[in-house]
Structure 1
């Protein structure tokens, strides 16, 4: 009945906003200056869930081993590959953390009190905490994606990459005659296809390597871990954390019924956030970015939205990215047009930079500068 659904949703909202990150417990993490060399940061992060990066005397984000490896950079500093994300207080709720995870595509968030770093929380940590609550007793069928994008065993890797890019996803069930045959992920393509063909940065966009002859069945994971629609959220979270996976196909017998991902589980937590203020963000052009660049840009937008939402209240931020042919060290000249509409009216900014992240960061900085001049 509709009334029951509303009651359950309200209960979930109250629960999410009642549990603080301090209640879940913070994970220890070392704070490093943004000037730390990437090679040094990589060695340090292997011993902990994440590093907290300090810039201008305050924490501005986190770096995980995954972040550093995905950047594919061996030289430079922590600041060069950092995605700026909102830094939360220990009094923030699990709903606040879930909103940051979804908005920035990051798996960790820094916790600080008056710019003093206290630790981090990860998506696994938050989900494990909530699995012990009533949320964990709910069924997979309430949160799964019932009609996910699928591929077939004989499909080419090139077409799968195009699908991933178009849908902004990183994995898909492999299906034949409605039966689950396996699962293929972006990670599979990098680790299994990459070494054989000596892939380099940019290859995943299909711009340098022809992959028409490589088929899904050649590199997919066969007999993947599965769950059923009636399994509990607690069980699924336990599997994801224990096996270090982000998605599980949902089956009814041997037929595919859907897929459940960490994002599917984080989304209801984030939606429970008390959103009395904040910016609605609309971005064009992100689909043309590789996963690492997209994550950095989304993190910058999430950080700006969180900051401006607290200062200005509700509003709308529209960002449009356009790209030029000029390149410098594999970075495209990028133009960012940003428009912020809020209580101070409409403010616009335009910036160019080498790479999407630099361009977006400069445009948002220009928006802040213009806002500070308005009465």
Structure 2
């Protein structure tokens, strides 16, 4: 299936000189996956809701300042490869080109809808993310925004006394900001922003929360996300929907579509442009070296996520690196920060190695205990 079969020529665009305030109102009014930014009628980039939360750009700034140059895909591109492009760029929409001209766009929803029938064969447990950031009902919106920005995520489950009570998303916060900004005059806005940042997430969270259990099919999860326009669902254990086991998002499912059976492990890198001179092969070799510490562990897929902070040291940006392995022994993860992608990756690899060796030690203890019990039973 080519992208031309599911791409659309209907999309929302703005001129790069438009103010951010207008783009905010477009997201509130039309709820697009992304807004295409044009300069002199030519494609210049894409704007997403998440960018508003993660940036400090003021409403009077121009759209071009915040636009991100999402990777282009050709009309004849393969669906699987396009899924990889969306995952690695951290985008929900990609511009589709024909003969070097913008032809249309393709969204994550379009890809997931096209492959829906194929998703019946895999369970949520095969694709979801176990490690999840949560907040309490009293967490302020200011802190929630910082968590969303610093960790490059779009949703935060709200947990009180170990029980899931709600969820707050990027869209919830953008919606609140837009509604309040529309009611305020210019002089009042600074104070309004401060007051909003001090609000508890309880005031904006969605409750009850749409959940799905680890044993349900990915098709069921995607059906639910598409029907309700959710970006993700909270994953719960099979017998208790009040506990948080993880989160499954559209990006998790897109990532699963790109899994390969290659000789080397499949490695996906979100925000791959931050690698700079550090290569994908170097990333793969580093992860393979960690996996070799635990010979019984087979890595089925590796995901590396890079996130750039504003802080710099002699011109080199501070990078956060998160590594997640999906293995026959369960999920393994490690994260770290450093100046430059290579340093951040090495710190994350060290943490990953400690977690892998810890898991190996726990497994060894369990095996020894099992052997001992068997011997005692034979006496």
TM-score in terms of structure 2 length:
0.56
After superposition, the Cα gap between the structure-2 partners of 1:335 and 1:146, relative to the gap in structure 1 and judged at 3 Å, is same
Residue of 140, 148, 153 corresponding to 2:132: 148
The equivalent of 1:258 in structure 2 is 246
Q: Which moved more, 1:33-42 or 1:112-121?
A: 33-42
> Which of the two has higher C-alpha Rg?
2
User: 1:45-60 residue pairs with structure 2 within 5 A?
Assistant: 46=30, 52-53=36-37, 59-60=43-44
Shift of 1:53: 4.8
The equivalent of 2:112 in structure 1 is 127
After superposition, the Cα gap between the structure-2 partners of 1:255 and 1:20, relative to the gap in structure 1 and judged at 3 Å, is same
Structure 1: how far apart are the matches of 2:31 and 2:140? 38
Report if aligned partners of 1:60, 1:85 keep a CA contact under 8 Å in 2.
Answer: no
Work out whether 1:169 is the aligned partner of 2:145.
no
After superposition, the Cα gap between the structure-2 partners of 1:174 and 1:78, relative to the gap in structure 1 and judged at 3 Å, is closer
After superposition, the Cα gap between the structure-2 partners of 1:44 and 1:267, relative to the gap in structure 1 and judged at 3 Å, is same
Q: Secondary structure at the match of 1:29?
A: coil
Report if aligned partners of 1:95, 1:271 keep a CA contact under 8 Å in 2.
Answer: no
The equivalent of 2:7 in structure 1 is 26
The equivalent of 1:288 in structure 2 is none
Shift of 1:33: 8.7
After superposition, the Cα gap between the structure-2 partners of 1:105 and 1:49, relative to the gap in structure 1 and judged at 3 Å, is closer
Structure 1 stretches lacking a partner, 5+ long: 1-18, 283-297, 325-333, 339-375
Report if aligned partners of 2:53, 2:149 keep a CA contact under 8 Å in 1.
Answer: no
Structure 2: how far apart are the matches of 1:108 and 1:239? 20
Report if aligned partners of 2:132, 2:247 keep a CA contact under 8 Å in 1.
Answer: yes
Q: Secondary structure at the match of 2:166?
A: strand
Structure 2: how far apart are the matches of 1:275 and 1:58? 41
Q: Secondary structure at the match of 1:164?
A: helix
Structure 1: how far apart are the matches of 2:167 and 2:91? 23
Shift of 1:65: 8.0
Report if aligned partners of 2:128, 2:246 keep a CA contact under 8 Å in 1.
Answer: yes
Q: Secondary structure at the match of 2:215?
A: coil
Q: Secondary structure at the match of 1:227?
A: strand
TM-score in terms of structure 1 length:
0.57
Work out whether 1:188 is the aligned partner of 2:172.
yes
Structure 2: how far apart are the matches of 1:189 and 1:51? 18
After superposition, the Cα gap between the structure-2 partners of 1:67 and 1:337, relative to the gap in structure 1 and judged at 3 Å, is closer
The equivalent of 1:139 in structure 2 is 123
Structure with greater contact order relative to length (CA < 8 Å, sep ≥ 6): 1
The equivalent of 1:369 in structure 2 is none
Report if aligned partners of 1:111, 1:117 keep a CA contact under 8 Å in 2.
Answer: yes
Query: What do you get for the CA RMSD once the two structures are aligned?
Result: 4.9
Structure 2 stretches lacking a partner, 5+ long: 284-305, 318-379
Residue of 234, 238, 241 corresponding to 1:249: 234
After superposition, the Cα gap between the structure-2 partners of 1:268 and 1:77, relative to the gap in structure 1 and judged at 3 Å, is same
Shift of 1:258: 2.2
Structure 2: how far apart are the matches of 1:34 and 1:273? 43
Work out whether 1:94 is the aligned partner of 2:103.
no
Report if aligned partners of 1:182, 1:223 keep a CA contact under 8 Å in 2.
Answer: yes
Work out whether 1:83 is the aligned partner of 2:71.
no
Shift of 1:163: 3.6
Deviations along 1:177-205, one digit per CA (max 9) or x if unpaired, are 432211122433454478399765996xx
Q: Secondary structure at the match of 1:266?
A: helix
Report if aligned partners of 2:80, 2:257 keep a CA contact under 8 Å in 1.
Answer: yes
The equivalent of 2:292 in structure 1 is none
After superposition, the Cα gap between the structure-2 partners of 1:55 and 1:144, relative to the gap in structure 1 and judged at 3 Å, is same
